[in-house]
Structure 1
Amino acid sequence: MTVPLRFGYKASSEQFGPAELLEFGVLAEEMGFDSVFLSDHFQPWMHDGGHAPAALPWLGALGQRTSRIVMGTSVLTPTFRYHPGVIAQAFATLGVMYPGRVILGVGTGEALNEVTLGLEWPEPPERFQRLKEAITLIEKLWDGERVTFEGTYYSVKDATIYDRPAAEEKVPIYIGASGPAATRLAGRIAGGYITTSGKAPELYTDTLLPALHEGLRKAGRADDAIDTMIEVKVSYHPDADTALNKCRFWAPLALSADEKMGVHDPIEMQRLADALPIERAASRFIVSTDPDEHVERIARYIELGFRHLVFHDPGEDQAEFLRMYGAEILPRLRSRFS
């Protein structure tokens, strides 16, 4: 199977309210983007100016306002705030309403989303096992007429998802991961794999992509059997200072795992991020005034084998970004990799 090359838009639910964000999603379709993804956060990364609209109703609204784009989460955690059965029902409903246009992206989660609700935040091995079990249960509910399931963490008794897509139109599950274990799991069982850009090149070449292919081989799947999606962080503007300083709101992305480990309060996350110099705050982004430089640096991810690139711009003027990227960057990419 040859996976098509697609270009998407990351709708920044941490930065914009739901109504404004919806208009950006509609504009993304108009400007030729192939997909729109958003994260499902209970709280944003930054307290001042932060937002956190619920992903599930927002996706329903986006589907109603658009006709072509693929849409989904990148990512949602189906293991703490939600029972996996609730997610199975919600995405089955979205799949019935918008067949072939919905993706469920899942991951092991962040303390920021769960601890505030009084939930215990376990160590990574348990979070990983919970994710595996949640995916198993979701798939069983989508496949079975009547499901009784008794797992280590979740159970259902005589459960039926009455409104769900036919088997050939079932919503694909993508696994988001930045480590080898969950990446291998994506290769074994998922319909797609999600990771993010801007990290050390050897993380992709020496760790993540080998783990993905190991998982594919263990499951007897071809190397191109699943979609490979990467959120590419870009800051494009004709003015260099503007392109650089747009990244300030997203400075938390530059914090190391140790620096933000266990932080569940956006106020504390903002304090840590505000202490970073702007150069470090922008370090995860492709920051350039030159469209050809953007294309060259994005091309590296395509050449690594990523087939679904979802662009995340950090600025306040998302309409400007969508129009500029849709007019100047996407055509160049499509021409080069046609």
Structure 2
Amino acid sequence: MTTRFGYTLMTEQSGPKDLVRHAVAAEQVGFDFEVSSDHYFPWLSAQGHAPYAWSVLGAVAHATERVDLMTYVTCPTIRYHPAVVAQKAATLGLLSDNRFTLGLGAGENLNEHVVGQGWPSVDARQDMLVEAVEIIRALHTGELTTWEGDYFRVDSARIWDLPDEPVDIGIAVGGEKAVHRFGPLADHLVATEPDAGLVETWNATEGAPRIGSPGRAVGQIPIAWGRDAEEATQRAHEQFRWFAGGWAVNADLPTTAGFAGATQYVRPEDVAETIPCGPDLDAVVEAVKPFWEAGFTDVALVQVGGDTVDEFLAEAAGPLLEKLRAAAP
């Protein structure tokens, strides 16, 4: 299977109109798909944005024609009831002419605490996600649905506007336990680390769709392209040093101030070790390479810094895509 390359609509670093404009430009330059984060807060105040992802994706669905679209990822358990997510996903499936994949995950405290429902343990969050997926699948049949579990209840609900093809569901997983639990419930694997073990475990899990046919493994990697490597490194440090915290930290911190405090000792050179910074496109290819070597079929790039996206898409994205496609299987 040919490796596909996508562009990330980073809602934390651009406003809604800019995101739609970036989506159109990314399609025109040749990206295969586009994913959108779904946040109530930016990770750090320096990023400066957090528009409503579903409104942005609705506009993007109408403004684009070819690229596949995906949430990367939505938490369907606290800030949103799964019945509402099912309706939103069905509508996006229609607006995009079946180009939309619903990417789901167990969420981060940063975004979910805002509705005042607390922040459950990771085991409870995964239990909630299982119920949410079951509800979404049931509602996407178009049947009148009443459903009751340990965490959610659905009372005589039906989705009236459904696409001809059911919306695919990707689920974010971070370890063997999560793969065994969510693989049989998902159409696609979602992960941010190029971990070959995840793909191998997924493919060995009974009921999980095999990666490559028909399932996909969708990864994501930040880059800080720019003509000046030092400036790009400083930008990556200012806006993306939260990335160094890892999932165990990122899932539980509730505010941008928390992320600033947790990363106060992360240095620019530390960030540059994990994020390719500067004009060297070959360095970006080398950073992306571990994903396809691990068996990932799709990789979405994040250009760090909202005010650099236009320049990146106009100057670097086309040549970078050529290099990536020449190097990838």
Identity %: 32
1:305 aligned residue: 295
Q: 1:214 Cα deviation (Å)?
A: 2.9
Q: Which one-letter code corresponds to 2:169 in the other structure? A: I
Cα pair distance change 1:325/1:189, threshold 3 Å: farther
CA distance in structure 1 between the aligned counterparts of 2:272 and 2:60, rounded to whole angstroms = 30
Match for residue 231 of structure 1 among 215, 220, 227 = 220
2:184 aligned residue: 188
CA distance in structure 1 between the aligned counterparts of 2:56 and 2:109, rounded to whole angstroms = 23
Q: 1:178 Cα deviation (Å)?
A: 2.2
CA contact (8 A) 2:76 2:82 kept: yes
1:175 and 2:171 matched:
yes
Residue by residue over 1:45-78, the C-alpha shift from the partner in whole angstroms, topping out at 9 and shown as x without a partner, is: 1124421111111100111111111112101100
Unpaired runs of 5+ residues, structure 2, are none
1:58 aligned residue: 56
CA distance in structure 1 between the aligned counterparts of 2:183 and 2:3, rounded to whole angstroms = 19
2:236 aligned residue: 247
* Count of residue pairs brought into register by the alignment: 326
Match for residue 156 of structure 1 among 143, 154, 157 = 154
CA contact (8 A) 2:107 2:251 kept: no
2:110 aligned residue: 112
CA distance in structure 2 between the aligned counterparts of 1:119 and 1:213, rounded to whole angstroms = 36
Give the alignment of 1:4-15 within 5 angstroms: 4-15=2-13
* TM-score, length basis structure 2: 0.92
Match for residue 41 of structure 1 among 34, 39, 42 = 39
Residue by residue over 1:181-226, the C-alpha shift from the partner in whole angstroms, topping out at 9 and shown as x without a partner, is: 32334432211111114xxx7xx134x23332232xx117434331
CA contact (8 A) 2:224 2:275 kept: yes
Cα pair distance change 1:296/1:258, threshold 3 Å: closer
1:81 aligned residue: 79
Q: Name the SS for the 1:196 alignment partner.
A: coil
CA contact (8 A) 1:46 1:270 kept: yes
Match for residue 203 of structure 2 among 213, 218, 222 = 213
CA contact (8 A) 2:199 2:211 kept: no
CA contact (8 A) 2:103 2:169 kept: yes
Cα pair distance change 1:162/1:258, threshold 3 Å: closer
Q: 1:100 Cα deviation (Å)?
A: 2.1
CA distance in structure 1 between the aligned counterparts of 2:46 and 2:12, rounded to whole angstroms = 11
1:69 aligned residue: 67
* TM-score, length basis structure 1: 0.90
